């Protein structure tokens, strides 16, 4: 007996790992290194295309709770991320190359996982299969999925540039974390006064953007969480100052004052030689990126190791297609996992892979699915993407807004979030123990 998993991204690796941990053989199909999508460059598995951050570590945050739930379910990626983390204040950020290498090593060393290096253009005609091909599914397989699902949706995603540490002008920057959260030196902060910001803003909104196939440059269909910086800027002059360039919680040690605007740079690799521009996803032409971002004083002579890019993301109409266990309603032998289901975010995608992997094994054995209640973060995301009552389906990441309320109500936000986390974790500790010992 074996189960097929198509795609060795975050969701595919988690799914394959869960299946193998339950003693079932896995055929893990991955087209790299024979073929790459426009956004992928690394030959390894679980490649991080956009940010290198898995968001907050605090368990009483939505993303922190999600990672703790994954850990309790036996996640492969969460401990790998912890092992490869780089300084990022209260966030869990990783050296993306070391992370990919570690995940790849663990997957390849697992004797129950058979790696098949080939492009899959159509689904197997029999057996249980998990489709975890991600938002950049190839055209050939996308057509097959479209026929299977009766259509699909899409939006555009963007990645931020990376610069070398040595090219940053530290005489115009300072090291700090917002509100001194975590490591005080986690971020390089590039401050700007009002005059500098005005000049930068003017150049940004008039810069030339790269064309993307089927992309309406004036009315881009872009996910809010990855809005290109130049698109966000056109919403208003102060939009960036309330978003990725907000100066709140930061003080320039040179002036002793809060800057007018700040760009934060986050460490990209363990060696600390590379930094990415936090929140600066962009679709500007490469030459324009160098020109416009050099108006930020600390980046005047920055060496861009990687420019920002925009790419098309595809996801299915999950609320009308998937069951709560991530299986296809009209064919329970086919499961979907990852961003293609409409969960948004690295760890959200990986979490769906965990659930799909567990339930694929249960399907193979003829057992009932493993479902989590909607007061857990993973359960709430599962309900969101499988609920047929959603009229305008859009990608959703972990957030406390999708969890049911606490009763009696707790007015204090910090205490309320702690209660959300405790409710979920206490349940999972008990249910996972009982499930693993009785399955």
Q: What is the DSSP string of 240-284?
A: GGGTTT--TT---TTTSS--SEEEEEEE-STTS-EEEETT----B
Measuring CA to CA, how many Å separate 360 from each of 110, 319, 348?
18, 19, 18
Same domain, 251 and 141: no
Cα–Cα distance measured from residue 6 to residue 360, given in angstroms and rounded to the nearest whole number: 13
Residue 236 and residue 98 in one domain = no
Residue 422, classified by CB atoms within 10 Å of its CB into exposed (0-12), middle (13-18) or buried (19+), is middle
Query: DSSP 3-state assignment of 220?
Result: coil
What the block records as the tokens of 80 is: 């790998």
User: Which residue bears the tokens 């795609």?
Assistant: 7
DSSP strand pairing (331-336 vs 129-131): parallel
pLDDT, position 216:
39
- Residues 103 and 46 sit within 8 Å (Cβ to Cβ): yes
188 forms beta bridges with 175, 265
CA-based angle 355:357:362, to the nearest 5? 95
Q: Are 406 and 325 in the same domain?
A: yes
- Identify the CATH number of the domain in which residue 51 sits: 3.50.50.60
If asked whether residues 290 and 172 sit together in one domain, one would say: yes
Q: What is the largest CA-CA distance in the chain?
A: 67
Listed residues 275, 308, 341: the one ending a domain:
308
Q: Positive or negative, the Cα torsion across 317, 323, 325, 331?
A: negative
pLDDT at 217: 38
Same domain, 271 and 319: no
- Mean pLDDT by runs of 10 across the 439 residues of the chain is 95 98 97 70 84 93 97 97 93 95 98 95 90 85 86 76 93 88 75 96 93 45 70 94 94 89 92 90 92 97 88 82 95 95 92 98 96 95 81 79 88 93 94 62
Q: Which of 308, 324, 353 is the last residue before a domain boundary?
A: 308
pLDDT of residue 219: 40
- Supply 155's token pair: 């939006």
Whether 317 and 303 share a structural domain: no
Can the peptide bond before residue 234 be classed as cis, meaning omega within 30 degrees of 0?
Answer: no
User: Are 274 and 371 members of one domain?
Assistant: no
Kindly state whether residues 217 and 234 are assigned to the same domain: yes
Place of tokens 């702690």: 418
Neighbours of 69 (CB within 10 A): 27
* Residues 318 and 302 reside in one and the same domain: no
Sheet containing strand 274-277, strands side by side? 174-176, 187-192, 261-267, 274-277, 162-164, 304-306
Quote the number of domains for the chain.
Answer: 2
Pairing type for strands 53-56 and 2-6 reads unpaired
Residues 185, 143: one domain?
no
Asked if 320 and 330 touch (Cβ cutoff 8 Å), the reply is no
Domain that holds residue 204: 162-308
CATH number at residue 218: 2.40.30
Give the SS3 label for residue 145.
helix
Question: 258 with 283, same domain?
Answer: yes
Residues 251 and 176 in one domain: yes
Question: What are the CA-CA distances from residue 341 to residues 70, 92, 335 (Å)?
Answer: 18, 24, 10
Closest of 238, 256, 266 to residue 177, by C-alpha: 266
pLDDT for position 220: 44
Which of 308, 332, 357 is where one domain is finished? 308
What three-state secondary structure class fits 149? helix
Residue 286, SS3?
helix
- pLDDT of the residue at 389: 59
202's CB contacts (< 8 A; 6+ apart) are none
Distance CA 53, CA 244 (A): 15
Q: How far apart are CA 180 and CA 84, in angstroms?
A: 23
């Amino acid at each position: 007996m074996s189960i097929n998993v198509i795609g060795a991204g975050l969701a595919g690796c988690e799914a394959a790992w869960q299946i193998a941990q339950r003693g079932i053989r896995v055929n893990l199909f991955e087209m790299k290194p024979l073929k790459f999508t426009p956004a992928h460059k690394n030959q390894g598995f679980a490649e991080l295309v956009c940010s290198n951050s898995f968001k907050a570590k605090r368990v009483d945050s939505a993303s922190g709770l999600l990672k703790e739930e994954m850990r309790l379910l036996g996640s492969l990626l969460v401990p790998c991320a912890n092992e490869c983390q780089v300084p990022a204040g209260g966030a869990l950020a990783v050296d993306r190359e070391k992370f990919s290498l570690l995940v790849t090593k663990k997957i390849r060393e697992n004797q129950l996982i058979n790696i098949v290096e080939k492009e899959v253009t159509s689904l197997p005609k029999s057996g249980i299969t998990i489709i975890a091909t991600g938002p950049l599914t190839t055209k050939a397989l996308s057509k097959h999925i479209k026929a299977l699902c009766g259509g699909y949706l899409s939006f555009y995603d963007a990645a931020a540039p990376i610069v070398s540490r040595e090219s940053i002008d530290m005489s115009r920057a300072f090291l700090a974390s917002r509100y001194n959260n975590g490591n005080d030196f986690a971020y390089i902060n590039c401050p700007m006064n009002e005059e500098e910001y005005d000049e930068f803003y003017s150049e940004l909104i008039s810069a030339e953007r790269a064309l993307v196939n089927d992309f309406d440059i004036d009315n881009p269909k872009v996910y809010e969480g990855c809005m290109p910086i130049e698109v966000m800027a056109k919403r208003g002059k102060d939009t960036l100052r309330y978003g990725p360039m907000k100066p709140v919680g930061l003080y320039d040690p040179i002036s002793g004052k809060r800057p007018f605007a700040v760009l934060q740079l986050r460490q990209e690799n363990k060696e600390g030689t590379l930094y990415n521009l936090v929140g600066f996803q962009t679709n500007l032409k490469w030459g324009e990126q160098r020109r416009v971002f050099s108006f930020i004083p600390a980046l005047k002579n920055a060496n861009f190791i990687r420019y920002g890019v925009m790419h098309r993301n595809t996801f299915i109409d999950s609320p009308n297609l998937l069951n709560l266990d991530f299986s296809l309603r009209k064919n329970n032998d086919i499961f979907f996992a990852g961003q293609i289901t409409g969960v948004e975010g690295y760890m959200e995608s990986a979490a769906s892979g965990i659930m799909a992997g567990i339930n694929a094994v249960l399907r193979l054995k003829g057992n009932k699915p493993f479902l989590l209640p909607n007061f857990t973060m993973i359960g709430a995301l599962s309900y969101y993407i499988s609920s047929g009552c959603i009229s305008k389906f859009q990608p959703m990441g972990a957030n406390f807004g999708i969890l049911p309320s606490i009763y009696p109500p707790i007015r204090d936000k910090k205490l309320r979030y702690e209660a959300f986390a405790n409710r979920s974790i206490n349940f999972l500790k008990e249910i996972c123990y009982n499930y693993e010992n009785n399955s």
